[in-house]
A and B are shown apart, each in its own frame.
Chain A
């Protein structure tokens, strides 16, 4: 039972353009969502998060949007840079189950220069 789904295994974007990574979830009890970025041979690093009481959170070039009615969130990167090329994981948490996270399968982003 995949509670968090990232349906696009990969995405290729030109440098300077917008990257949009998508994530869908099924569990309406999730109250907090995070995006992690992962380079090869490294562990995931935290990028940005959003609480379920908000619909947008912005941090520099990164913005996360949450649509609770559609159970959908997206990560926008503007402008995209070659250093953004990595695997991006969406993760969700249910407060009833403490700090445990449920991860999506990840999307490989390639930013072409």
Chain B
């Protein structure tokens, strides 16, 4: 049971480059989330999705885009990479119903913008 899988694990980008962080889950969860974690800070929500075709902004969406064409996949796009986007990015999912199912996290993508 793979759970939530994120690729790549590490990436170095130059300022102005673009890339897509991949996230896929095999638990048939409706809800998916993208967070970023900066040093000494908690996780901050970038975007989330409550189902295929439905996405919404979180606390820190600027500079990012998402799409949700299938239940399994929730890619995060950086169009013009900036040094402020250097962070560790976590994808998470949960069924989205009721209170008892916590969010399950992937192992993260460590991204450096130089």
Given A41-B107, A43-B106, are A9 and B42 neighbors across the interface (CB < 8 Å)?
A: no
The size of the chain A interface, using a CB distance under 8 A, is 26
A106 to B105, CA, bound (A): 16
- B42 CB contact (under 8 Å) in A34, A89, A98, A100: A89
Name B's interface SS. Answer: strand
Q: Which residues of B contact A41 (CB under 8 A)?
A: 107-108
A42 part of interface (Cβ distance < 8 Å): yes
Instruction: Please state if A34 and B40 are interface contacts (CB–CB under 8 Å).
Output: no
What's the Cα separation between A45 and B107 when bound, in Å? 10
Task: Contact check, A99 vs B43: say whether CB atoms are below 8 A apart.
Answer: no
Name the one of A9, A34, A102 contacting B102, with C-beta atoms under 8 angstroms: A34
Q: How many B residues touch A, CB cutoff 8 Å? A: 25
The answer to whether the Cβ of B71 comes within 8 Å of any Cβ in the partner chain is no
B61 at the A/B interface (Cβ < 8 Å)? no
Residues from chain B with Cβ under 8 Å of A30 in the complex:
none
**Which residues of B have CB within 8 Å of A99?**
31, 94, 96, 103
> Taking the complex as formed, is A51 at the interface, i.e. its CB lies under 8 A from any CB of chain B?
yes
Contact code string B42-59 (vs A, CB < 8 Å = 1, else 0): 111100101000000010
B77 at the A interface (CB under 8 A) = no
Query: Are B48 and A9 in contact, with the CB atoms below 8 A?
Result: no
Cβ–Cβ contact B42 & A43, under 8 A: no
Listed residue (A44, A98, A104) with the most chain B CB atoms within 10 angstroms of its CB = A44
Nearest chain B CB to A87's CB is how many angstroms away?
A: 10
- Check A42/B104 contact, CB under 8 A, given A89-B43, A105-B40, A105-B42: no
Cβ of A103 under 8 Å from chain B: yes
- Residues on B with beta carbons closer than 8 Å to the beta carbon of A106: 42
A43 to B5, CA, bound (A): 10
Residue on A with the closest CB to B95?
A99
Can you list 18 A-B contacts (CB < 8 A)? A32-B99, A36-B105, A41-B107, A41-B108, A42-B107, A43-B92, A43-B106, A43-B108, A44-B43, A46-B103, A46-B104, A89-B43, A91-B42, A99-B94, A103-B35, A103-B43, A104-B42, A105-B40
